[in-house]
Amino acid sequence: MNLLKYLTLTLFLLAMVITGCSINDVERNETFENALSSTVKNQQNKEIEIHSIADFKWDKAYLFPPYTPQMSIERKLGIKYDDPSNISNRDEIYLFVFLHEGRVVQYAEIKRHKADFTMDGKEYLTPSEDVLKVERY
């Protein structure tokens, strides 16, 4: 193989490895974000059942409040996760991270809309125990 072809192939493979390592293949679920936002805006709702608006497979959902450090997110999830929302520097959103079979499958940035969210002391939600409480201020 001549040197030019070898260098071209090497650079191409290197670019593929770098790109493959840096792309976050987890989708931001804007449909979920919009549905949750609409539900929160309805002042009547004090509790939201997540399964009613999550139209994808998940078995655990974690909620992270504003300013949660990256290290805390990974510790809670139990896996490496590069947070695309940059929540550690933001106060206007909550971060929802959904896992399925130990892998992050979706995430959502939830605007606060003059509300805070709690999971009633649970570490994470499951499809059978998925009530998110809305506390307005």
Task: Give the range of the structural domain holding residue 91, as residue numbers without chain letter.
Answer: 26-136
Q: Is the dihedral of CA 121, 37, 130, 86 positive or negative?
A: negative
Burial of 74 (0-12, 13-18, 19+ CB in 10 A): middle
Domain membership of residue 62 (yes or no) is yes
Rg of the chain over all Cα atoms, to the nearest angstrom: 19
pLDDT of 17 above 50 = no
3-class secondary structure, 87: helix
Domain membership of residue 19 (yes or no) is no
Residue 49 has a pLDDT of 95
pLDDT band, very low/low/confident/very high, at 12 (cuts 50, 70, 90): low
How many domains in the chain?
1
**Phi and psi angles of residue 21, each rounded to the nearest 5 degrees, phi first:** -80, -25
Domain membership of residue 128 (yes or no) is yes
CA gap 36, 48 in Å, rounded: 8
Burial of 32 (0-12, 13-18, 19+ CB in 10 A): buried
Domain membership of residue 98 (yes or no) is yes
For the entire predicted model, the pTM comes to 0.79
Domain membership of residue 5 (yes or no) is no
Tens digits of residue pLDDT in 101-120: 999 999 999 998 788 999 98
Domain membership of residue 7 (yes or no) is no
CA gap 35, 16 in Å, rounded: 36
pLDDT band, very low/low/confident/very high, at 83 (cuts 50, 70, 90): very high
